[in-house]
Amino acid sequence: MITGNPQLLLVEKTGAGQVADIIRKSGRRFMDRFEKYLAWPQVKVLNAIERCRTAALGGHRDQCNRCGHQAISYNSCLMGSIF
């Protein structure tokens, strides 16, 4: 028997720490299964979250001024710009 919060258990099981991770993992299947119940704005939001902070939206290289360490930062979806 499983006890506890089902959402937290899903996060623990999948290793997903953010809503976007869950949507990336299961969003397509969810949208395919429930497409007749989803309004267009809901689909747009799910698509935006799925692409947010991924290479699909581009990114940039950040560099530490002290040690020179570099890291790639992907751009956010900027929800207001997609609607």
Q: Is the pLDDT of residue 67 over 90?
A: yes
Helix (H) or strand (E) holding 19: helix 19-34
67 in any annotated domain? yes
Residue 1 lies in a domain: no
- Total domain count for the chain? 1
Please give the mean pLDDT across all residues of the chain: 79
- Which pLDDT does position 78 carry in this prediction? 67
Cα distances (Å, whole numbers) of residue 10 to 16, 32, 50, 64 = 8, 20, 18, 35
Q: Is residue 80 pLDDT above 80, yes or no?
A: no
pTM of this prediction?
Answer: 0.61
CA neighbor of 23 nearest in space, from 2, 54, 60, 1: 54
The C-alpha atoms of residue 51 and residue 73 are separated, in whole angstroms, by 14
Is residue 66 one of the residues assigned to a domain?
yes
Residue pLDDT, tens place only, 1-25:
444 444 444 555 555 478 888 898 9
- Which structural domain, as residue segments, surrounds residue 56? 6-82
Evaluated on CA atoms 67, 69, 70, 74, the torsion sign reads: negative
Name which residue leads in pLDDT, 11 or 64. 64
pLDDT of 69? 94
